[in-house]
Amino acid sequence: MSKFYITTPTESIFKEYDVRYAVGEDLNENTYFTLGLAIGTELQKVYQLHTILIARDSRESSLRFNQALIQGLLLTGTRIIDVGCVPTPLLHFAMHDLQCLSGLMITASHNPASHNGLKITLGGKNYYGARLRSLFQRIRDEQLIQDQQESGVLIQYPTDQIIHKYVKCVKEDVAITQKFRVVVDCGNAVAGYVVPQLLSALGCEVIPLYCDVQPVFNNHHPDPAVEENLRDLQQAVLEHQADLGVAFDGDGDRLGVVDAQGTIIASDYLLLAFALDLLRRQPQAAVVFDAKCTQNLSKSILEHQGRAIMCKTGMAHVMANMAKNHAAIAGEFCGHFYFNDRWLRFDDGIYAAARTLEMLSKQKQNIHNYFSHFPKAVSTAELKIEIAEEDKEVFMQQLIEHAPDFLHGEFITLDGLRVHTEQAWGIIRPSNTAAYLTLRFEGQSPEALQEIQDAFAALILSVDPDLEIPYDFNESVGLHM
């Protein structure tokens, strides 16, 4: 008899792309047990499938939740292949290698160690939006198989074996023609099991930084999209006179890069480098990117006879647009990279690091000089405004309605609100993973950047005066753009 019991979770744990929440009353072993019942039932009823792979990250709660999830799946008669504690890209790789269309990853990605979550793929379909909500509905309606434990099977797949296969496969695909010295910062997260081994196999001299895998992230948060989290990497690159520094998030599907002078290479400019490299080989190729990326990306792609495809942020949206436009590569500003030319299309920060080194090894100039020739703009990092989850939708509706009173230019509502003026652009969109709004700005000059930031601040405060603007602005700004 199971030691867990069925519980109806709060709907707020179901985000747009995955399950994600703080561990505690609303996310615990019983939640995962119940999710196991719902997923196993969905797998059989909707897809007529019985096999699923599961993996987990290194968080303290992940092993407990893994055991509870397995118990729920077993009661539905599911055949489970547990690949152990590996990065998310290795789960996707294992699904491809074992020809299994379904996989579950226990992780909260770049969220704090006190959070956890679940990424779900069933029948080859990523579960997000309506599909994810259907699981919640199944639980609420008590449409759950619970009596097939006799046919449930658990297979422990050797974790070292899947890592070895992954390293071997990447090594066969990627050729690095220079001997690079690389600092690798895994932030004490699960990528530490794979990245040093892979880059060493590719011929790099690896200098590990926080590559010992821990259940907590004591040195810094594993989120390479936040500049503060790259400070130690920047310092280590300079101290060791390394050619490059690479950093990864909590489950290894995002990449951050620092050049030999300790300069952070923004992810949208790294994507631009990949795009130009691709277009030299494949003229007219499509490149997909999310709405937070620099305007110089689409401009440069078009100038080099490529097809620039902007889409909403999020793996599901990026992959759908890649398929629709037959795109070879894609990326997001937060550090997700997707390769469909020689790889498996899913986002993989570890493979992206290998491809970065391969691309840079072909250049005759040093890495810093190579990126210094790219078009320049003055831009911000991703900024955040805290807002209650239940207030996001109404706020964005009102913001878009009032935007013409504060901004003039091209309005793009593909993902939140992005506004292009002659000298700048800005975006505000609701986060799909946490209770905040994200903003980003870029200008052709510091003055143009400040001007669009001022206009957005005035617009935001006109809708909700209590929100805290995360940058300095001119409070006297009205309609002026």
Known catalytic residues are: 109
Specify the pairing of strand 115-122 against strand 19-22. Answer: antiparallel
Angle, CA of 282, 286 and 287, to the nearest 5° = 110
Please name the residues in contact with 312: beta carbons below 8 A apart, sequence gap of 6 or more. Answer: 290, 291, 414, 415
Report yes or no: 186 and 211 within 8 Å, Cβ to Cβ: yes
Tokens of 173: 């695909």
Measured CA distances, 191 to 93, 99, 136 (Å): 14, 23, 31
Report yes or no: 340 and 286 within 8 Å, Cβ to Cβ: no
Angle, CA of 218, 109 and 118, to the nearest 5° = 130
Closest of 405, 404, 429 to residue 418, by C-alpha: 429
Report yes or no: 175 and 357 within 8 Å, Cβ to Cβ: no
DSSP, res 27: B
Please name the residues in contact with 130: beta carbons below 8 A apart, sequence gap of 6 or more. Answer: none
- Chain-centre distance for alpha carbon 314: 7
Q: Give the Cα separation of 31 and 21 in Å (integer).
A: 11
Q: Give the Cα separation of 298 and 275 in Å (integer).
A: 10
